[in-house]
Amino acid sequence: MRTKIAGIGHFVPEHVVTNQDLTSYMDTTDEWIRERTGIEERRYATKHKESTTSLGAKAARIAIERAGIAPEDIDFIIFATLSPDYYFPGCGVLLQRELGVTSKEVGALDIRNQCSGFVYGLSIADQFIKTGMYKNILLVGAEMHSMGLDFSDEGRAVTVIFGDGAGAVVLQPADKEGQGILTTCLHSDGTHAEELAMINPGSHGGYHLGTEKFGYPDPATPGGVFVTQKMMDDNLLSPNMTGQLVFKTAVVKFPEVINEALTKVGLTTTDIDVFVPHQANLRISQFVQKVLRLPEEKVVNNIQKYGNTTAASIPIALSEAWEQGRVKEGDLVCLAAFGSGFTWGSA
């Protein structure tokens, strides 16, 4: 038995933030951002009115409707995000409540695999469907990055890249020959975990990282060090990224994991009809496209409009491509992601 995407949808907030808009907060330029990342604008959700879960719910409702089912038909929820509403509980249960499916008390799972969260979620859902455990799985990737970014000059290299948005799919057993997910490949290497990370607040307490540098001035203090004054003073509560290491690793791992999936199912890159990469950076996508020798029209890129929306980027791009008629019945679609962890994967 295979798993198919029965319905797909996406939602991005209305508020458009251009590169030019960012220049009023930090020392940057439209030219620098476009040249390095390909990004022209991104969307920011409305503070206090929207959240990662509310964005996810909007995308989920579209996917559910397109699958021709009702929210009550969902029998399992998977939510992928790195920018959850709460430290705990996860967004899965909040989404369940927001969709009004509490009566069935279905399971809700949160996964924290950052940029590859959607591919990981797809693989998990695929296993549940294949074993016959569930029939209608709702998988959501959503992010509200704008709340956690550093808008000072110090944070500019990271902040200009990210945007808010959500994408969702409903997964069901495939009903036609040849239809559905052929395979998924998942990988990780924690060697460089801190090179693309937001390590505070967390339980590490500076453990093996150097307490001073990470905002834990007094290791002897019991408790109460999740968020310290030093973290706030030293601007240690936002994401950090070693950009060049991420770039260099991503352009190797993307082709590797795509070829792994193709080899597993006896296909080659020339068989790919549509390639939807995680929208990390337009330069990374272009590099991968070149290595795989894919013609430009087969590659879906929308980072120009939305920035990098992490776990939401693949379902948003796939949903848009499907709406535009770029994904048709019978097409071989390749998804691939790489990100923080490092974690990476393909489908």
In angstroms, the CA 57 to CA 45 distance is 14
Comparison of 3 and 19: residue with beta carbon closer to ligand ACO: 19
Minimum distance, C-beta of residue 313 to ligand ACO, in the bound complex (Å): 8
Question: Is 208 an active-site residue?
Answer: no
Pairing relationship of beta strands 343-346 and 3-11 according to DSSP bridges? unpaired
CA distances from 12 to 56, 200, 268 (A): 10, 27, 34
Other CB atoms within 10 Å distance of the CB of residue 153: 12
Which of 19, 136, 200, 308 is labelled catalytic?
308
Which of 115, 136, 301, 334 is labelled catalytic?
115
Handedness of CA 239, 118, 116, 329 (dihedral sign): negative
Minimum distance, C-beta of residue 55 to ligand ACO, in the bound complex (Å): 18
Minimum distance, C-beta of residue 44 to ligand ACO, in the bound complex (Å): 16
In angstroms, the CA 344 to CA 325 distance is 28
Question: Is 145 an active-site residue?
Answer: no
For the chain, the 3-state helix, strand and coil shares in percent, each to the nearest 5, are: 40, 20, 40
Comparison of 113 and 136: residue with beta carbon closer to ligand ACO: 113
Q: What tokens were used for 164?
A: 């808010």
Q: Which residue has the tokens 């352009």?
A: 251
Comparison of 157 and 267: residue with beta carbon closer to ligand ACO: 157
Comparison of 94 and 303: residue with beta carbon closer to ligand ACO: 303
| Cα three-residue angle 207-120-131, rounded to 5 degrees | 125
Comparison of 197 and 267: residue with beta carbon closer to ligand ACO: 197
Comparison of 74 and 288: residue with beta carbon closer to ligand ACO: 288
Question: Is 278 an active-site residue?
Answer: yes
Count helices and strands in the chain by DSSP H and E runs: 11, 13
Comparison of 211 and 242: residue with beta carbon closer to ligand ACO: 242
Which residues sit at the interface with ligand ACO, rule CB under 6 A? Answer: 28, 32-33, 36-37, 115, 156-157, 160-161, 196, 241, 243-244, 246-247, 250, 280-281, 283-284, 308, 338-339
Minimum distance, C-beta of residue 17 to ligand ACO, in the bound complex (Å): 13
Which of 10, 145, 278, 281 is labelled catalytic?
278
3-state secondary structure of 127: helix
Minimum distance, C-beta of residue 121 to ligand ACO, in the bound complex (Å): 16
Backbone angles phi, psi at 122, to 5 degrees: -65, -40
Minimum distance, C-beta of residue 325 to ligand ACO, in the bound complex (Å): 27
Minimum distance, C-beta of residue 242 to ligand ACO, in the bound complex (Å): 8
In angstroms, the CA 79 to CA 13 distance is 19
Q: What tokens were used for 343?
A: 């974690």
Residues 274/331, Cβ–Cβ less than 8 Å:
yes
Residue least distant from ligand ACO (Cβ): 243
| Closest alpha carbon to 243 in 116, 146, 120, 156 | 156
Q: What tokens were used for 66?
A: 């397109």
Residues 62/320, Cβ–Cβ less than 8 Å:
no
Pairing relationship of beta strands 165-173 and 137-143 according to DSSP bridges? antiparallel
Provide the annotated active-site residues: 115, 278, 308
